[in-house]
Amino acid sequence: MIIGLDVGGTHTDVVLLGQEGLVRQIKVPTNPSDLFATVLTGLEKITEGIDPARISRAVLSTTLATNRIVQGRIPEVGMIVSAGPGMDPELFRTGPHYHTVAGAIDHRGREITPIDEDQVIKVAEDLKKNGIRYVGVVSKFSVRNPAHEVAIGDLIVDRFEKVFLGHRIAGGLNFPRRIATTYLNASVYPIHKDFFEAVVNSLAKKGLNVPIRILKPDGGNMRFDASIDHPAQTILSGPAASVMGSVAFAPRDEECLVLDIGGTTTDMAVLVNGVPLLDPMGISIGEHQTLIRSLDTVSIGVGGDSAVRVVNGKIHIGPDRLGMAMAYGGPVPTPTDAIFLLGIGEGGDPEKAREGIQTVADALGTDLQDAANRVFEQACRTILDEAESMIGRINAKPVYTVHELWEGHRLQPRQILVLGGPAPWFAKGLERLSESRITVVPRWEVANAIGAGLARTTCEVTFFADTERQIATAPEERFSTVIPSTYTKEDAIKATLDLLRRKAIARGANPEHLELEVIEAMSFNMVRGFTTTGRNIRVTAQVKPGLIHGYDPIAEKIMDNSFT
Amino acid sequence: MLRAKHKTGLVFFPAFDWAISPTHPEREERLLYTQDQVFEEGILDVEGIIEYKPDLVTKKDVQRVHFCVPDLWAVMTESHFISAGGAKTIAMAVMDKQVERGFALVRPPGHHANRVVHGARGFCNVNIEAIMVEFIRQAYGVNRVAIVDTDCHHGDGTQDIYWHDPDTLFISIHQDGRTLYPGSGFLSELGGPNAVGSTINIPLPPNTSGEGILHAIREVVLPLLKEFQPEIVINSAGQDNHYSDPITNMNFSAQGYAELTTLLKPDIAVLEGGYAIEGALPYVNAGIILAMAGMDYSHLREPDFDPVKIRQSPEVSRWVHKTCDKVLENWHQRRHLAEMYRGDYQFMNRDRNIYYDTDNIHEHQQETIRVCDSCGGALKIDSAARGMKHILAVHIPRKACETCRKQGYQWYDSADTTQYDKIYLQDRTGDVIKEKAEPS
């Protein structure tokens, strides 16, 4: 059996999944100041009376690191950055302990300026003197040649508790994002490590030796031990949990839109043939733009509990939530109150809901029914409009080949999957306004936790070969080899998939059922003078985000006794 | 988060699957390292630098500028629709005020493409700047335009298209035509009889470095722009003045290009040539983008940059200064020069041989322009490509006077289809494109 646990802002959802389907589902209140207690309570409750040996894994999606980053409650870490010519590296300063040092590498991975060992050691001593325990090392183009990062790392590794090297964090080009991502990894490391070690130990003391996995924002998971070196890859996994919860019920042969409508926000994502689309760059959190792989999701401030106001005769919904709906004792009217008044849903105190909507009606100079209708319709309309602009943005994504531009496919989802607390109610409103088929995801109120539980292990490999320089390298995987000048794109693809297979298994994937996919494979003839001097080959491959092998029976059973 | 001082639009279209031929300078690899540098520097993450996906140009957009022989499909590949489309996309973003400025970092280039196109010359099939300019004139009613071509090669195609247009100031700064393709762009080339002074050539000697090129910008280009008062300034931003370019002999640097962009403040820049794909383009393009966005580029330089090695000699400086003085002298005397040039002629002819190096085509042109004080003048071109097609093309300019318009139609209507493979008409007064031919 599998446990899925998703920590939300107000509630933490936990499910237990087995061959018989959804065995158990619980909700525990989230205590933001003690997430450890929240997670532990959730895990204890869901396993009450269950033989721990029957539980193969528990997949957790927590807001721990995310909250600490957003609130700035992270330890001070040191950064050693070698940039060489280009943008001023001072622009990417992460904090007081940010040092730029000598050293430069060009776009093909050739050394332009060596590092200065004495300078590095002086910086390290300075950091040490300031009580720094965690350090990030980043050089420009380190994903083409990690030599400088490795050399700096070797020089300082003995002086600090943990040193993170930029090229090991992600394979893509983007120096400022590499700095930010490495910085976040170093900052989040002690928080992440202490938290999950405590969870594992506490469970062990209670006789619950459950293997722990952590959900990532790309909709995949990784084993807890693998996450120690990539702690920042666990942030902002919440939207991914919900998206993965809808995947089992998404059409396999067309595009669809996923809407996770919560109390405060609505998260949106797109599934193409059941596979969620990834953000081409990486997550942004607070002021940090990163290389952390993520599903392409958009979050807007419209949900069931959004505050409804009337300003100059116009209805404004959200983006804030001031509490629950008035029907449940909240302070201001909300779309949920409108839903209750319209009889689309039932709950709380109808008199309070009426009171709330009456203030809206008065401000608009209309009757109750009309006010409720307008509030509800505007909430639904806003969600659909924002979804449309998200699709527009994805379709406007630049491409770099004639073929892609000419043959380029445009997304046109014709189905919308809805989940989250008020999903069935909103579905009724969306149906009225949209031509798409609207489907409520079975077990919509815990689909997020189900998604966390059923998500597979994902990862990505970026590979680079230069036959003129006779090197092939995937620095993130610590892979580098000499290649003959006859090396081809096909060779590169084979090597990439091999690295990916090994990486996925090490991170916890099922070796029997790996769904590997080449995302990009390009080979350029390098011509100097009028002679071809080599080939410049770039390959990227990934484990597609998706559900673990053998989930179908579980999903079917969940579907059998679900909301329809 | 980093912010651009000037909101800047960018179309980046490297056409990673298009080449003239596998080892041609204009090949798939050309913008590969530029992409690496721009991506690695994180320039596209800067707030206020907005990347656009290029739209395609329409058939009409191309035919508004060019007479394509035998037809449009013979001279345009998919890639040309996109590269011209990239320039158009950026122009629209600027005209719609989504951004303050824009840079179309696209290939293939276009500034060697003339009004009549039988094939490719100087790696160019169609003129992407001219297609863009005529589009914004048509769609946004823009009138006065300045095009400053800073490619190392003379922008002879753009010069040809705007030779008779008094509302387009075309300035080309390039390596002296006696030492480099296409072998034109001399001081005396000042525009046709109705537009003397609206074409300006600044040929610079080999080994001119930043000092000389920026002198020409400061002392000639900027004062001329100030006097001409264009509504929009376009930079044909070729990057082959770079000291490491394999097919030219100049000594410009990435810093120099960035400074040129800062001085010129173009509304729109369009990439042209530049074939030092590893040593120059990554740094020059990063510099141009940063300069357009009004950001700091002082830390940007090539790995092998050595200012001492590329400093220009006193002799080069003297030559540059003399050339610039002469350009200014011609400019100030342009009305007088026009009078002398026109004399009492009602029509003037130009007879030219045009060689298409890329496609090895020999074209012979006989051009007739109606001398006119009120407009750019009706234009007729009789063009024959050796062993290929013979056409007659009539162009009626955008603001043609009634006499010139009538003259254009008279030429077109009276032309004998048995004499030509095809007869073309561009009536820019009504944005009308026509053609006629003997039924085959």
CB contact under 8 A, B52 and A526: no
Gap from B185 CA to chain A (nearest CA, Å): 27
Count of domains forming chain B? 2
Indicate if B320 and B372 belong to the same structural domain. no
Indicate if B230 and B376 belong to the same structural domain. no
The tens digit of pLDDT for each residue in A55-95 reads 999 999 998 898 889 888 999 999 999 999 999 999 999 99
Contacts of B236 (CB under 8 A, 6+ apart): B111, B129, B147, B148, B149, B150, B151, B155, B158, B270, B272
CB-based burial of residue B304 (10 Å sphere; 0-12 exposed, 13-18 middle, 19+ buried)? exposed
Q: Which residue is listed with tokens 């528990």?
A: A58
Indicate if B270 and B353 belong to the same structural domain. no
Determine the pLDDT at residue A10.
78
Classify residue B343: in a domain, yes or no: no
A158 lies within 8 A of chain B by CB: no
Rounded Cα distance between B120 and B324, Å, is 32
Please tell us whether the domain made up of A2-71+191-242 is placed in CATH 3.20.20.140: no
Q: How far is CA B131 from CA B79, B128, B161, B179, B327, in A?
A: 15, 5, 10, 29, 28
The tens digit of pLDDT for each residue in B335-350 reads 999 999 999 999 999 9
The tens digit of pLDDT for each residue in B385-407 reads 999 999 999 999 999 999 999 99
In 3D space, the residue among A70, A75, A55 whose CA is nearest the CA of residue A213 turns out to be A55
Q: A250-440: same fold as A78-187?
A: no
CB contact under 8 A, A87 and B36: no
8 Å CB contact between B49 and B293? yes
3-state DSSP assignment of residue A147: helix
DSSP H or E run through A127: helix A117-129
A286 lies within 8 A of chain B by CB: no
Gap from B65 CA to chain A (nearest CA, Å): 23
Indicate if B359 and B275 belong to the same structural domain. no
For an interface test with B, the pick among A92, A93, A107 (most B C-beta atoms closer than 10 Å) comes out as A107
Gap from A287 CA to chain B (nearest CA, Å): 6
Structural domain ending residue among the three candidates B284, B304, B334: B334
Indicate if B85 and B168 belong to the same structural domain. yes
In angstroms, how far is CA A230 from the centroid of its own chain?
13
Q: What is the mean pLDDT of chain A?
A: 93
CB contact under 8 A, A107 and B12: no
Classify residue B340: in a domain, yes or no: no
Rounded Cα distance between B195 and B169, Å, is 9
Chain A, window 82-111: residues with a beta carbon less than 8 angstroms from a chain B beta carbon: 83-88, 91, 104, 106-108
Q: Given pLDDT bands bounded at 50, 70 and 90, which one contains residue A549?
A: confident
In 3D space, the residue among A506, A511, A496, A519 whose CA is nearest the CA of residue A549 turns out to be A511
Beta-strand relationship, B145-149 and B168-175: parallel
CB contact under 8 A, B45 and A405: no
Say yes or no to pLDDT of B1 above 80.
no
Say yes or no to pLDDT of B26 above 60.
yes
pTM of the shown model: 0.94
Q: How far is CA A262 from CA A266, A301, A322, A356, in A?
A: 6, 10, 14, 20
8 Å CB contact between A451 and A295? no
All residues of chain B having their beta carbon less than 8 Å from the beta carbon of residue A107 are: 33, 36-37, 40, 278, 282
Following CA atoms A489, A493, A499, A501 in sequence, which dihedral angle do they give, to the nearest 10 degrees? Answer: -170
Structural domain ending residue among the three candidates B283, B311, B334: B334
Number of inter-chain CB pairs under 8 A, A vs B: 120
Contacts of A496 (CB under 8 A, 6+ apart): A461, A463, A474, A518, A539, A540, A541
CB contact under 8 A, B36 and A530: no
Q: How far is CA A410 from CA A265, A407, A413, in A?
A: 27, 9, 10
CATH number of A78-187: 3.40.1360
Structural domain ending residue among the three candidates B299, B334, B369: B334
3-state DSSP assignment of residue A370: helix
8 Å CB contact between B111 and B391? no
Indicate if B254 and B152 belong to the same structural domain. yes
Option in A86, A175, A536 nearest B32 (CB):
A536
ipTM for the predicted complex comes to 0.93
Q: Given pLDDT bands bounded at 50, 70 and 90, which one contains residue A560?
A: low
Q: Given pLDDT bands bounded at 50, 70 and 90, which one contains residue A100?
A: very high
The single-letter code of the amino acid at B43 is: I
Classify residue B136: in a domain, yes or no: yes
The tens digit of pLDDT for each residue in A330-369 reads 999 999 999 999 999 998 899 999 999 999 999 999 999 9
Task: Give me the numbers of helices (H) and strands (E) for chain A, helices first please.
Answer: 15, 27
Parent domain of B299: 3-334
Q: Given pLDDT bands bounded at 50, 70 and 90, which one contains residue A564?
A: very low
Count other Cβ atoms within 10 Å, centred on residue A329: 11
The single-letter code of the amino acid at A226 is: A
Indicate if B158 and B247 belong to the same structural domain. yes
A280 lies within 8 A of chain B by CB: no
Residue extents of the structural domains in chain A: 2-71+191-242, 78-187, 250-440, 460-543
Determine the pLDDT at residue A551.
75
8 Å CB contact between A12 and A42? yes
CB contact under 8 A, A526 and B29: yes
Q: What is the DSSP letter of A413?
A: -
Following CA atoms A480, A484, A485, A491 in sequence, which dihedral angle do they give, to the nearest 10 degrees? Answer: -70
* Residues of B with catalytic roles: 112
> CATH code at B223?
3.40.800.20
Say yes or no to pLDDT of A562 above 70.
no
The whole-number average pLDDT for the span A508-535 is: 91
Indicate if B274 and B408 belong to the same structural domain. no
Q: What is the mean pLDDT of chain B?
A: 96
Widest distance between CA atoms in chain A: 83
Determine the pLDDT at residue A563.
43
CB contact under 8 A, A525 and B27: yes
CATH number of A250-440: 3.30.420
Indicate if B271 and B358 belong to the same structural domain. no
Q: What angle do CA A337, A343, A348 make, to 5 degrees?
A: 45
Q: Given pLDDT bands bounded at 50, 70 and 90, which one contains residue B369?
A: very high
The whole-number average pLDDT for the span B291-307 is: 96
For an interface test with A, the pick among B39, B40, B278 (most A C-beta atoms closer than 10 Å) comes out as B40
